[in-house]
Amino acid sequence: MSLYGGFTVAEPVWSVDPRTGKPRERVAVEATAEQVDDAVRAAAAALPALAERSVRSRLLRGAAGLLEEAAADVVAVADAETALGTPRLTGELARTAFQLRAFADVVDEGAFLDVTIDHADPDAKPIPRPDLRRYKIPLGVVAVYSASNFPLAFSVPGGDTASALAAGCPVVVKAHPDHPATSELCAGLLRRAAEEAGLPADTVVLVHGFQAGVELVRHPLVAAAGFTGSIPGGRALYDAAAARPRPIPFYGELGSLNPVVVTPAAAAERAERIGTGLAASFTLGNGQFCTKPGLVLTPSGPDGDRLVEALTSAASAAGPGVLLDSRMRDSFLKGAAARAELPGVTAPVEAGDAGELSVRPGFLTVQAADLAAEGAGDLLLEECFGPLTVVVRYGGEAERDAVLDRLPGNLTATVHLSEREAEAGDGPAAALLGRLTAVAGRVLVNGWPTGVAVAPAQHHGGPYPATTSTFTSVGATAIERWLRPVVHQDTPPALLPPELRDDNPLGLPRRVDGVAQVAAASA
């Protein structure tokens, strides 16, 4: 919104082609405070209709189907707005549909309700115990802040929306300005899926605009928020959520270095394979992954040199690419240049401007000793979003650990071990794994962190700033963010919700008098 002589003029929202920098089409206008209020109230009105689990599951499966039906259109629009390419976006759409159905399965199973029943015990010590029956209920309207780098999987139809709907929460999504047309298209599909499932279309509402996002997190009827983005933006919204008269949980994913450690034995065994694998991982999607390996501890000496040589070849061969928008491009070029100029830093492959709005991937090297103390090297411990990684050469465990001790929290941490180290079990490899566990939410051995499987055991989160909470935004347990427990005490059977009745009419897995019960019969 801008003010001209006292009149409020709605700011237009343009879809922009990052390959040309030219506006594609005018998609919408930024929401005013009143429009945000309308959006939240409309979503709040949909809350009761979501109470039935079966309708949520229908909505999620319906949305997955509609997304697949519209795949050609959605991928074309998303590619035009993000330059991420058709193959990647086709894969992302498949993953997004899979994720919607995975949450439908979670809803159908009902384990997330965490049903726990303790029957009354008049003989309990130290005092008689009443009848207590607990389960989880939806928190209310959820605000979802879309990510720039995943226009589908972490945006309008993505994991935050899917898990919130699975929990029974209506969603107001704040579109990312990098893909407003894709956002409108996907919101339309979700709203159609809602109506086809017998729900109000306003079960999912879309708003555009920076200020609208701020209004959203402050709205009294918003009960929780999910966010994927940068540290400054995420922290500002986190602070706003915490400063409300009634604070709300803000589940933000803000940034991650994703450290990798290559042991001397691993480098001795397969330096070239690791160097090549690293190049593929840090340049994937033009380095625009939250899980991009951004700091790679590589041993000093000839084996590490071989790794760096392989990395140099592979990174040099990687073609230039267009970043998501011009602001990110500028920020990447400035960030890469500032890091390259630090004392002790060299750039075997220099990241930089490749002309025609594209950038060239590159990597830096630095000695561990230059990073061990606070000071000039600090910038190297901050994420640089885009196709850049930093190889840190270390001389021994002490140097390696001094760097690890300085790391902020991460989504992932990876170690490359030799075959013998992997088989040997306890000892230095186990100790190293312990150190990595302390600074990350996902710890990988002999792999690359880019790519986050949607699975029950997944955890996509980590110590701050990786996430602002201990929860995950990917995988079955992402639903836990949007629920709160309620216990019913001494409630007459006729008034109990069906989830809490002794005869378990919904066939839910539950814990009764301390004993876990697998579902008696599927609902």
Contacts (CB under 8 A) with a second copy, residues 216-245 = 238-239, 242-243
Site for a second copy, residues 432 to 461, rule: CB under 8 A: 433, 437, 440-447, 451, 453, 455-459, 461
**Subset of 78-137 contacting a second copy (CB under 8 A):** 91, 94-95, 98, 111, 116-118, 124-127, 129-130, 132-134, 137
Helix (H) or strand (E) holding 443: strand 440-445
Min dist CB 290 to a second copy, Å, is 15
Query: At closest approach, how far in Å is the CB of 350 from a second copy?
Result: 32
Phi-psi map region of 386: left, alpha, beta (phi>0 left; psi -120 to 50 alpha): left
**Counting contacts by CB under 8 A, is residue 249 touching a second copy?**
yes
**Min dist. Cβ of residue 282 to a second copy (A):** 18
Rounded CA separation 340/342 (Å)? 6
489 touches a second copy by CB under 8 A: yes
Judged by beta carbon, residue 396 or residue 428, the one nearer a second copy is 428
Structure tokens at 480: 């836990």
DSSP code of residue 80 = H
Nearest CA to 180 out of 72, 325, 61, 332 is that of 325
Piece of the chain touching a second copy by CB under 8 A; list 30-38, 271-279, 349-357, 426-434? 426-434
| 509 near a second copy, rule: CB under 8 A | yes
Given a contact cutoff of 8 angstroms between Cβ atoms, the answer to whether 362 and 346 are in contact is no
CB closer to a second copy out of 15 and 228: 228
Whole-number minimum distance, CB 344 to a second copy, in Å?
Answer: 26
Taking the C-alpha atoms of residue 163 and residue 151, their distance in angstroms, rounded to an integer, is 17
Q: Does 158 bind a second copy (CB under 8 A)?
A: no
Q: For residue 380, which amino acid is it?
A: L
Q: Is 424 in the site for a second copy (CB under 8 A)?
A: yes
Q: Which one, 153 or 206, has the nearer CB to a second copy?
A: 153
Q: Does 6 bind a second copy (CB under 8 A)?
A: no
| 22 or 246: CB nearest a second copy | 246
292 binds a second copy (CB under 8 A): no
Stretch of 271-279, 292-300, 370-378, 463-471 lying at the interface with a second copy (CB under 8 A): 463-471
| Amino acid identity for residue 11 in this structure | E
- Told to check if 470 binds a second copy by CB under 8 A, we report yes
- 3 state DSSP class of 48: helix
Size of the site for a second copy (CB under 8 A): 79
Which residue in 364, 315, 313, 309 sits closest to 342, CA to CA? 364
> Binder to a second copy among 6, 7, 123, 516 (CB under 8 A)?
516
Q: Which is nearer to a second copy, 296 or 323 (CB)?
A: 296
Q: Looking at 84-243, which runs of residues are DSSP E strands? A: 116-118, 132-138, 141-145, 171-174, 204-207, 222-228
Tally of CA atoms within 13 A in the half-sphere of 330 that contains its CB: 4
Q: Tell me the CA distances in angstroms from 412 to 55, 258, 294, 452, 480, one per residue in order.
A: 35, 5, 11, 10, 21
CA distances for 475 relative to 78, 117, 200, 311, 496, angstroms: 24, 27, 27, 32, 31
**Residue whose CB is less far from a second copy, 346 or 470:** 470
Catalytic residues: 253, 290
